[in-house]
Structure 1
Amino acid sequence: MKRDAVTCGGCVVSAVGAVGAVWLWGASDRTQRHLGNKFENNGQDFGAVLVELPLVVIVGVVLPGLVWGLGAWVLTRRERGRGRSEVHG
């Protein structure tokens, strides 16, 4: 694998992971309950949003990036074991 392709793929996977994590978090019943999706906005708790949202974004970025990096490392290691590495030419 080429280094540029691996790096670009990791960035794309992390961005998609962050967007997907925020979307899933926002669509959950628990989040809707905290945002006041009831009669006359009873039960609004924006403190939960301020605490949870940054954590959701961080996990959405880091977890897919780690999985992508682990996969790239495993594939690169296999290629090195066979005697051919595209990273070093």
Structure 2
Amino acid sequence: MKRDVVTGGGCLVSAAGVVGAVWLWGASDRTQRHLGNKFENNGQDFGAFLTELPFVFLAGAVVPAVAWGLGVWLLGRRRGRSESSRASEFHA
């Protein structure tokens, strides 16, 4: 059960990262300029949309998931170390 909770938490953090990254990318002045929020859509460039959005999506999914996994791994190592030291005290 605990492993399912950790996995579900990682997926939730990853999904939130994707939504946040895409929202921040879409709200930036640079992106708005490329998507044509100028006078009469001058300077509209969908190449920026097609090349940047996949990277933003991947970074938003991967970075939070890696951070979550690293945190779970570090906490697991810490907990494992403290449990092994307690077990050795009882066995000595």
* TM-score in same-fold range (> 0.5): yes
Residue-by-residue CA offset, 1:17-48 (whole Å, 9 max, x unaligned)? 00000000000000000001011000000001
- Give 1:4 deviation, angstroms: 1.0
Identity within the alignment, %: 70
Ranges of 4+ aligned residues in structure 1 off by more than 4 Å: none
SS in 2 for 1:70: helix
- Give 1:82 deviation, angstroms: 1.2
Distance in structure 1 (CA, Å) of the matches to 2:83 and 2:22? 42
The equivalent residue for 2:83 is 83
Residue-by-residue CA offset, 1:29-83 (whole Å, 9 max, x unaligned)? 0000000101100000000100000000000000000000000000110110011
What's the TM-score once normalised by structure 1's chain length?
0.91
Greater fraction helix:
2
Name the aligned partner's letter for residue 67 of structure 2. V
The equivalent residue for 1:53 is 53
- Give 1:2 deviation, angstroms: 1.6
The equivalent residue for 1:18 is 18
Whose Rg is larger?
A: 2
Paired residues, what number?
84
1:9 aligns with 2:9: yes
The root-mean-square deviation of aligned C-alpha atoms, in Å, is 1.3
What's the TM-score once normalised by structure 2's chain length?
0.88
**Using CA pairs below 8 Å that are at least 6 residues apart, which structure has the higher relative contact order?**
1
Gaps of 5+ in 1: 85-89
